[in-house]
Amino acid sequence: MFKYLFSFLLLIFTLSAKSQDTLVLDRSLARNTVYLEVFGQGLFNSLSYDRILFPEFKVKHSATIGLTFIPPISYMQVVAIPVSYNFIFGQRNHHLELGLGFTPMIFKEIGLSSSFYSEDQSGNQTLVYEKVDNINLLFYLTPKIGYRFQKPEGGFFFRGTLTPPLAGINIWRYSSTSSYS
């Protein structure tokens, strides 16, 4: 009797047991990657984070977000947040990557110089120098096509993509001017 009860319980627990599919685990990529992007979607260098969203799918999906920051230097300052959604094709270390990105950017042009002649009421001409600071809020799309080297277990990561900025829209501009003679 005890033998039959034990066999029955073993059968019940076996039917409800869950296991991992090793084929799926072998094909999945390391899910999180932090990397430095050079002249990519942020147009300048950016620190980026990439997350594999569906590692169990044959075609992987990833989302990327980054930060481009160039502190004020002699002529410009840049802050951008590139965001993209990617599709990754390939099984082992070598992958084709296709995606679409969107980047909002604040681009400040600092101390642009210009000069012109101004005429006062009595007809005297005076040379006037201007320094102009322009602040632009830009938005642009970036389609992506490229190569991705990423080992399934993680470690070294390399990505080379073509990301041309398209449909740039400057939706806001602020200028401040200081003049002197």
Q: pLDDT (tens digit, 9 = 90+) per residue, 44-63? A: 889 999 898 887 788 889 99
pLDDT value at residue 87: 93
Whether 124 is in a domain gets the answer no
Whether 87 is in a domain gets the answer yes
Q: pLDDT (tens digit, 9 = 90+) per residue, 127-164? A: 877 777 888 898 999 999 999 888 777 778 788 889 88
pTM (predicted TM-score):
0.67
Per-residue tokens: 64: 């990327």
Whether 178 is in a domain gets the answer no
Cβ–Cβ < 8 Å for 83, 103? yes
Question: How many domains are contained in the chain?
Answer: 1
Q: Which domain holds residue 75?
A: 21-110+134-172
Ordered DSSP codes for 14-62: HHH-----HHHHHHPPPSEEEEEESSSTTSS-EEEEEEES-TTSSSEEE
Whether 14 is in a domain gets the answer no
Whether 122 is in a domain gets the answer no
What is the C-alpha separation between 127 and 124, in angstroms, rounded?
Answer: 10
- Taking 60 as the threshold, does the pLDDT of residue 64 lie above it? yes
